[in-house]
A and B are shown apart, each in its own frame.
Chain A
Amino acid sequence: MKIAVVQFPGSNCDQDSLRAMTDGIHVEAQYIWHKETSLSGFDAVVVPGGFSYGDYLRCGAIARFSPIMRAVVRSAHDGLPVIGICNGFQILCEAGLLPGALIRNKSLRFVCKPVWLRVETAETPFTANLKGQNVLRMPIAHGEGSYFADEGTLDALESKEQVVFRYADESGNVTAESNPNGSLHNIAGICNEEGNVMGMMPHPDRAWDEKLGSEDGKLLFGSLVESLDPVLSR
């Protein structure tokens, strides 16, 4: 099993994502430069956080036209699991793999702090192991993380259970106070209808060791690995 971690000029969580795989859950992972055109040989893709292309124009707007993104879109349609974290989430939205957009935080401030997330569905390869695990702890670090979509899109996301994570308090209550950026419906992460493409603003790649403050990110990556190969279940 091998996981691809895409590198754009300006990615800065590529190493976190790779280490989460290799050191966090002990799975082979490899960087793939944005000029590459194929994902053959990989079992899943991480589109990591950072500031691809300096966030010029809009976050993710230029990265989505990178050659590797054509391969990501094609592979996603073929069912390959794709997870976009932070800037990766913004890129997946820009690429049309996920609905909606991430806009400037309501506070206009870059927000960098640990948050609590309520898990809304176990029907994705990334959350399959989280049945009964209601609340996760991991950090956010973004200036443009406020999830926006029009009402029709929000209704569809809710009715098809595509909201994967919501900002919540420690007990899992979804409150206005626990919303760090003004995201509609407190949305922190969503998936596509098929469930194989997921984007989230919080960083599981920065939460895979007690020294980092939380190991909850391993639950997501572990879920992914087990869904790819149940034999590796640990």
Chain B
Amino acid sequence: MSCSFTLYKSSDFIRKTATGKIDLARSLQGVHDLAQAAGFHRESHVLIDVRETESTVTHIEQMKLAMEFGNYRHLFHNKIAILIPPTSERIEKANLMKRCMDAEGFEMKVFVDFEHVIEWFSEVVPLGETP
């Protein structure tokens, strides 16, 4: 048996979980909701959990969505993680969204695993390994 110790200095985060079908109108509403919450919780990262959704948002609509996020840029101070289903179609869409968000000045990453989100949000300090 081998063991490793790791110290996690966690950061607070706000989490928006969506289920079902998401289109542009619903996504825009989600941006407004998140912006309002992010404005109240300025030290928190943001997790958008859309694993239980189907997306009908097109590439052009994704750009509109990123621009809408950009309108609230002053309210988002920290990292934004988006958690998606592990399908090639959703990964491709999410990566395009990430590029749009990068262009708007956001620090955004795409994940398919909740555990990796927490790793990204936390300051992780390895403390060593024992045999």
Whether A associates with B in a native complex is no
A residues with a Cβ closer than 8 A to B are none
B residues with a Cβ closer than 8 A to A are none
